[in-house]
């Protein structure tokens, strides 16, 4: 099993959830209205007067075979509008309770 964490511009919310659902992933945890700034480029998403946009994030634990197609779909979304901002990280899951 792997944990897939995705931080993204709030405009992507429906697309991100649909990507997980279309790959058979029912469960996830979502955070709304989070702030952040990319490491390389893009505008900060801070929810302030100067930088009003906010981020959201999703964490889903998925079977190993689901990781590659989910990450590929996320990459496709990011490549369509890279200025919006999307980052995905994959971690090993050692224990599930």
Does residue 51 belong to any structural domain of this protein? Answer: no
Choose between 12 and 35: higher pLDDT: 12
Does residue 50 belong to any structural domain of this protein? Answer: no
The CATH code of the domain that includes 18 is 3.30.70
> What is the domain extent for residue 21?
1-37+67-97
pLDDT greater than 90 at residue 80 = yes
Which two tokens mark 87?
Answer: 């980052």
Does residue 59 belong to any structural domain of this protein? Answer: no
Residue among 19, 10, 3, 4 at smallest CA distance from 77: 19
Share of the chain above pLDDT 70, in %: 100
Residue among 4, 19, 11, 3 at smallest CA distance from 74: 19
Residue among 33, 36, 24 at smallest CA distance from 61: 24
Q: If you average pLDDT over residues 3-15, what whole number do you get?
A: 94
Total number of residues shown for the chain: 97
pLDDT tens sequence across 13-52 = 899 999 999 999 999 999 998 987 777 777 777 777 777 7
Give the per-residue pLDDT at 8: 94
Number of domains in the chain: 1
Does residue 79 belong to any structural domain of this protein? Answer: yes
Does residue 11 belong to any structural domain of this protein? Answer: yes
Does residue 43 belong to any structural domain of this protein? Answer: no
């Amino acid at each position: 099993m792997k944990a897939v964490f995705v931080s993204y511009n709030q405009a992507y919310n429906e697309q991100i959830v649909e990507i997980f659902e279309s790959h058979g992933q029912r469960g996830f945890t979502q955070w709304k209205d989070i702030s952040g700034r990319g490491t390389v480029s893009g505008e900060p998403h801070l929810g302030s007067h100067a930088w009003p946009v906010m981020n959201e994030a999703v964490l889903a634990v998925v079977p190993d075979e689901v990781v590659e197609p989910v990450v590929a779909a996320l990459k496709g979304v990011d490549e369509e509008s890279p200025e919006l901002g999307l980052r995905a990280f994959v971690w090993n899951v050692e224990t599930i309770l």
